[in-house]
Chain A
Amino acid sequence: QKEVEQDPGPLSVPEGAIVSLNCTYSNSAFQYFMWYRQYSRKGPELLMYTYSSGNKEDGRFTAQVDKSSKYISLFIRDSQPSDSATYLCAMSAYSGGSNYKLTFGKGTLLTVNP
């Protein structure tokens, strides 16, 4: 079983739709949870960062963490064509000294159609 599971999609939605992206994980040591967005031919960019169970909102984006179920989600409201990208979940666990191990999901390819 992989430490982080993410459905690769692809996911295609009409403009204005609410998008739900999800990841599950098996490592209870993960403490910090992130969502990155990666446009084609670009490196990933950090969208959301959270470390506790519950919701965190930033504009049209909401990150949700449920540590008891080992499940995280990213919701995008009023999706726009410019949101079309690959969305990667990432999680980190303390690995000793000053080190944290960062583990990414496979990424979900999202297309928002005008």
Chain B
Amino acid sequence: ETGVTQSPTHLIKTRGQQVTLRCSSQSGHNTVSWYQQALGQGPQFIFQYYREEENGRGNFPPRFSGLQFPNYSSELNVNALELDDSALYLCASSLGVSGGPTDTQYFGPGTRLTVL
């Protein structure tokens, strides 16, 4: 067990709605990264937060936003949901910045979002 938890496990929304996904990082991990994993694809980097500040962003539109809190929890918010947003959303926590030379990312089990 990595100690990273995510909620909810599954979620069904309709197009145009808004959704909030939650992640609880390992204690002491200052960095949280969020990924979108479509069916049959590898995870795609959405953004990263380091000590409550956004610290890098992938090719995702502004309707994808996030927050990180001092208690090692974080949120991914998606507005105006589209059908293509259906995917597994993963969060990963690490001591340092993700992908860096001394980093190990610990992934949660993910939230499976279905947009109808």
Contact = CB atoms under 8 A, between A and B. Distances in A.
A43 B107 contact: yes
A102 B98 contact: yes
Contacts of B90: 43-44
Nearest to A8: B40
A43 B99 contact: no
Interface residues of A, number: 28
Nearest to B35: A104
A99 B53 CA distance: 13
B2 interface: yes
A46 interface: yes
Contact of B56 (A31, A88, A99, A104): A99
A90 B2 CA distance: 19
A85 to B, nearest CB: 13
Interface of B: 2, 4, 33, 35, 40-45, 48, 50, 55-56, 58, 90, 92, 97-101, 103-110
